[in-house]
Structure 1
């Protein structure tokens, strides 16, 4: 930026014979503090300032007094093409507040003041800030900045996409609370005033390489910045390259095991792979052949024709070096594009090796498999995949839990009994990658007098009956891992105080021991009670509450996410099939409707118990409403016909349970067929089984068709 853009062009132009009154009028009209007195050719004779006018007025000079005696003739001038920074140095050196801007021949173009320079520098600074903001916003790398108080002040679009968080929601938030997976690196760079070694970080949507650098201003560190580079694409390429090398090695081994000669060319018609059998047939080395055109080195294979036409040829008879051979050629296709061709040459003891044809066919299938595997990749899930849901609130909690698992902050999980709090705790431990164990303590199940020894252990001889050598407590067992405090709301106040000390100091003493032990344990607590109410009732320490309430996950009850019932039923039925040795397909629509109407005070645990009971009592392939408990099955149902009354004479007690169940099942089928007039499709629908299953059971129980079915001409 030069001075032509940093001056006032509408300046007060005067002549030497102008009077005091005229100059005052011009100053007021132009709102200027300085006027330029010019010669006739436009060059500068001198300047007059408002201060000179003040002096003339104080001397009681008449308004018609000429201004010539009061002119400044030693005026600082600056060429219009000078940079603003150079002009600033000239003004500071001359110790003046104004500069007259002139052209190459000395004609006055304008006047520049301190205000003009300040505005110019501010405009330049705003432009630089806007350019820097736009640059950061449009970077492909994620950029996150914090101030000296660890609050986020920079969070570009790339970072928002990586963390799947809106940029507006993170500004001024504490980095450790919102982004624990990168907070340690940023705080380390800030507090140590030195860059942190880059580290690999797993985010919800990507794997990134994070670099941490302190931000300095005037030799003082005022914050830190993290730059996150997405490694997902690089890792995918690396996996594909690794897969390619592995499959190439497998392919080479397969070729060497082939009994006949094999040759592969690329799309340019040059040899890329040959096996020892082919080299033996031609009496040449691999080095002589690889990379050379097939049409020149081994024209009798005619691979260039297959490459040109893309057609397979089987059973081409050729004589190679006096040996009769059978050649098979086929193109190599990857993603609908021809990338090469392969030839198989059968030449060894043809009259006695007919069985090799079938073996070579298997080899061709194997090669096709390798080509298919060439482009495949493997995707792995996470421990949170076990949390079955389609509810948006539940998905958001899963995402929060995933993010919290990356750090080491304490997590409090609240929710009613049976909502899956322990499942979340186990998933957080698995995702965290902590090398230690996941140790669970049910604070409500351990007697109060044993709680302290269970948590902290005891030394040898601590009390009568103590185990020799002492016993480690839960904190020691969970060292390097996660300690899950279930039902923490039931913990006695005395133990709460000791737990708070361990959380603050990371150390504790065994009962009866004088040596403090230091542990690295992450705490995940859970409760189905309202801790705030317990605090008001003085049953729970407020300081402990704030210590464990760093990250809060509130699991909604099942009644608030009933859209999950179909998924949960399917998952639980498959799980119970393995446990009970059953093959139940699922629940019928009418059964699901009954389940949707229930309030589910016991949540998912109650649902699993209901399904397990129904699967034990249900004889069919599907769980029907009649198999549900009375409090769920009391509504009127038309899913099944009412079975006929029990016979007056019950089966003998010597009959097995299987026989009794079979008899009941046969009676249900007979009743369904009777009600449906022999219509097998309708009867199968009423029984909530497939037609094929109904046919099998009719045959199994030898039910007479003539008694119930309509003629086959009417019901095929």
Structure 2
């Protein structure tokens, strides 16, 4: 009997469970009848207590007949008593090796109480391994497509067989533009490896540029003596690595700055982690406790300085504002204890020990507080690199109606009913769709399809996919459609009002039947997909005009969410403006950028027909115009600068005075605006001349980031 094992592929999962049995009073005829009826190769034999005693096989029958036994004789003398058995909880991999060692193809499966649970044969084992390998293959395919590194797989002739999503994005191409082509046709910059033997080389290639992207290309051979497969091209975006390197350097510099400040201050500092172990300190703290650094790091603070009771700062609700006066040894001192939080989680505490020149403690506190703010800022910046799934709470608003809409969207997220998002262009319908999907319990993907961007002849294949050989040029093996990709997930139908009537009929059928066939295929595919549709059109009016099917409208019109335009929630403009400014500051490497009161007033007066998307465009344009860290009126688009300030006839009197102030500011800025482009062009030309045409050095000379330099350079040459 094999030892039980916790491996997920156990005998119990794959054995034949409902197998017939023989008992000690059965005849040879009984065994023959069962073998003939059930087409099996092994029959367990039980005693009167229903305990397993052996097996009967076709060879046992032949043996009985060879000994001239009567078919109505008791079969007990001919059973195999030392039969091979396994336990239902045994590891299937070990069972396979066990059966191979015993040179048998099947075994009786027993439970822990020696009862027959079933029969295991070679077919069961093959099915188990097939399931395992299929799961592994699916996992590898998912991993391949979700890797951030771009990958192109080549055969030994250099023909591209596979590309992942990252490669398509980095190289600005689609699968149709890459698969089946030679890699030099897709990436002509790589002709320097075409003369080599792709089955043996392993080349670190030079950097290349594709539409302003700086990429690092590496070729890795995957062939060996027994498998002439080819290799893979790995594509990495150097911009990301440079940004990460800069962020890490900033963090290291900040840590060195913090340690230097701590070491040069008169006061002692001791930092502990959430377990009360000392992790950081300064020279003044060593002097205070009269111990070396080796005596402090890694030791509990309760053993080094038990009098200050720093572990109290790790308790919930601890107040860190007050100073405590105490005598430790021969020193009179003040102690301030402060908890340390990271993303609202308590990670440690810091003790400040003031015992030298107590009159200067306020200056030291100011320095430390400024540093703590800087650390908090850079931690926030670094957290943006990792990213996170979009949540409904990420939709910023101070508007009561918008708050109720977000609450209703979260309530409906866990259901299965279809959702219809209505609202003007740029109001954030896709953000609501993603937020609803991420707040649901659906395990599948969020798949988006823009109904206004698909040619009419491609509608059916995009939605339902196509089978192998469905039409000339079809991908070998076929291609899944959006419904298939969104199985157990969410299908977001953006611009649903632009869907042709012919496709509306087919969409309605899938929503009703939850099944479809691929184009050119005969197999029925069942799916579990939740539909979220969005449009800025009046579907009711379209139904009345026979432009949209009424039955489809009522199928989609289950949960309706109307998203208000930005003009109806003007109180959100300041908070959205600050958030967008912070986002572009991070993307452009500008640090903290602020906006003047006059510019904010002007933004609040605009009616924003393009809603949040228009606001983002206006802020992005302004960020490209500033030379300092301030966005003022002259940096805003001209059409916004000309805003009259009349949102409606009921505008309060204070808005009129505000409008006058803004208009005056616009007039004052005209001279600056008319001359800034020429000044920037002259500065860029002079910097390039002094650096011999080196743009990176020119950007450094001007004191701006490289991305800013390229944008300004491109702008100056286009004028």
Query: What range describes the TM-score normalised by the shorter chain of this pair?
Result: 0.3 to 0.5
The structure with the larger Rg is 1
Q: TM-score, length-normalised on structure 2?
A: 0.40
Q: TM-score, length-normalised on structure 1?
A: 0.40
